[in-house]
Amino acid sequence: MFARLVGESFVRNPRRKILTAAALVVGMAVTTATLTVALEVGDRMAREFRSLGANLLVTPQSDTLPLEIGGVDYRPVDEGAYLNEADLGKLKTIFWRHNILGFTPFLDVPAYLGMGKAESETDVTLIGTWYEHEVPVPDGTIFKTGVSVTHPWWKVRGQWFHDGANECVVGAQLAARYPGGVSVGQTLYVARDEISSYVQPLVVTGIVSTGDADDDAVLVPLSVAQDISNHRGQFRQLFVSALTKPEDTLASRDPKSLTPAEYDRWFCSPYISSIAFQIKQVLPGTEVRAIRKVADSEGRILSRVSTLLWTVTIAALVAAGLAVGATAAATVLERRKEIGIMKAIGATNTIVGGIFLVEQLLLAIAGGAIGFVFGAALARVLGESVFGTPAPPRILLLPVVLGLAAMVALVGSLIPLRRAAHIDPAPILRGE
């Protein structure tokens, strides 16, 4: 009997149901889309932040003070400590190896530049680095990294040098002030100093503009800088770009003061401090520091953006709830007459309420499921337009969305139903 009543109500007057169902579909589609994007956004934004470049700096522990001004180290080559290039593959063996997006070693060498003619000779800094270098990882794989990852804002006119080749890329300012100019395809001769007999010819493959002091240097493959400085297989500084999680109260505490359980949690979270700690473990004798300017800003802005998004998501949820509730309320109110008749022929308030609630519940499940499908599609479009890659649908959200839909539909009909309980059948039947 109960089931027949509910079924009849759907068959007899489908138009009324469509309004509530439509509101549910739209509301739940928006809910699904915002929740999907909100869950995704932390990861996506963290990746966007990597356009700021490296956030960790690795230097030798027992080192003389670097004479670094504007990104160029002016120390003579025979001073200070060096790190070994061969160890770098180990970076991809740490616990958070997948969060290491890239790393680039640097070796700055003061040198003497000429084109074979005395009048165009000048002092210059050679910056040895990788562009796209293949690093062998101990587990047998190859990891490709270099300034293309850690310094994405460096733009080159022409081409980057090939790794290991006798080629170079000249900083834009140096190229501009160099007597006679420097053009792509030309050969430059560099030597360690004026009297050195070791002269290295380098073919210019491009002009680089970095917006920094590196614009006044010559960028060469790391191996070339190593040969000229006579420090084979070594470098001075390593820039690491890692995906991290904004610091919270746990991350800001000293790891030594943590309990074993807290320590495990800290070690297994991609905080910048725990990644720095893990890098230090595989590269002993180094100092690993978070580049505060980048790391702190990233953490602050990331947490701001995600709070912002969650606030907006809550607003979207409230708006969806209001929309569904309002339609549900409207349909119940429209059916006062029906309620009056049911009551007149002996239905109790419980039965009337039950019929309406079951109807709303069925609508909520159907509307919620359809809404979820539309929402997943909407999230794809949103992800595509905002981050360039679609946000994958999350099946885990389906029960959440269905539950929300049921809750909203029920709460929306509760208030008018309570008023319906007070309906007196007599005036309704009289047509008042």
Among positions 289-308, residues that touch another protein (CB under 8 A) are 289-297, 300-301, 304-305, 307-308
Binding window for another protein (CB under 8 A); candidates: 42-50, 200-208, 224-232, 392-400: 42-50
The 3-state DSSP composition of the chain as helix, strand, coil percent (nearest 5) reads 55, 20, 25
C-alpha–C-alpha distance, residues 364 and 262, integer Å? 43
Rg of the chain (C-alpha set): 33
Helices marked H in 230-348? 260-267, 272-282, 292-334, 336-344
User: Which of 34, 229, 241, 413 touches another protein by CB under 8 A?
Assistant: 34
Q: Contact between 340 and another protein (CB under 8 A)?
A: no
Q: Contact between 284 and another protein (CB under 8 A)?
A: no
Within 8 A by CB and 6+ apart from 234, the residues are 82, 83, 84, 85, 107, 226
| Residue number, 199 or 318, with CB nearest to another protein | 318
Q: Contact between 344 and another protein (CB under 8 A)?
A: no
| Residue number, 26 or 414, with CB nearest to another protein | 26
Instruction: Mark 201-230 with x for binding to another protein (rule: CB under 8 A) and - for no binding.
Output: --------xxxxx-xx--------------
User: Which of 140, 260, 284, 431 touches another protein by CB under 8 A?
Assistant: 431
Q: Contact between 198 and another protein (CB under 8 A)?
A: no
Whose tokens are 């160890």? That residue is 87
**Dihedral over alpha carbons 57, 60, 62, 68 (to 10 degrees):** -60
Instruction: For CA atoms 409, 411, 416, 422, give the dihedral sign.
Output: positive
Residues 84-113 that bind another protein (CB under 8 A): 110
Instruction: Mark 233-272 with x for binding to another protein (rule: CB under 8 A) and - for no binding.
Output: ----------------------------------------
Binding window for another protein (CB under 8 A); candidates: 131-139, 174-182, 226-234, 342-350: 174-182
| Residue number, 33 or 83, with CB nearest to another protein | 33
Taking the complex as a whole, the smallest distance from the CB of residue 299 to another protein amounts, in Å, to: 10
C-alpha–C-alpha distance, residues 337 and 432, integer Å? 10
Using DSSP bridges, classify how beta strands 167-171 and 199-209 pair: parallel, antiparallel or unpaired: parallel
User: Which of 123, 262, 264, 384 touches another protein by CB under 8 A?
Assistant: 123
Q: Contact between 78 and another protein (CB under 8 A)?
A: yes
Binding window for another protein (CB under 8 A); candidates: 41-49, 87-95, 130-138, 338-346: 41-49
Compute how many residues bind another protein; rule: CB under 8 A. 91
Q: Contact between 75 and another protein (CB under 8 A)?
A: yes
Which two tokens mark 365?
């499940």
Closest CA relative to residue 133, chosen from 220, 242, 206, 54: 220
C-alpha–C-alpha distance, residues 385 and 51, integer Å? 18
Q: Contact between 385 and another protein (CB under 8 A)?
A: yes
197: burial class by Cβ within 10 Å (0-12, 13-18, 19+)?
Answer: exposed
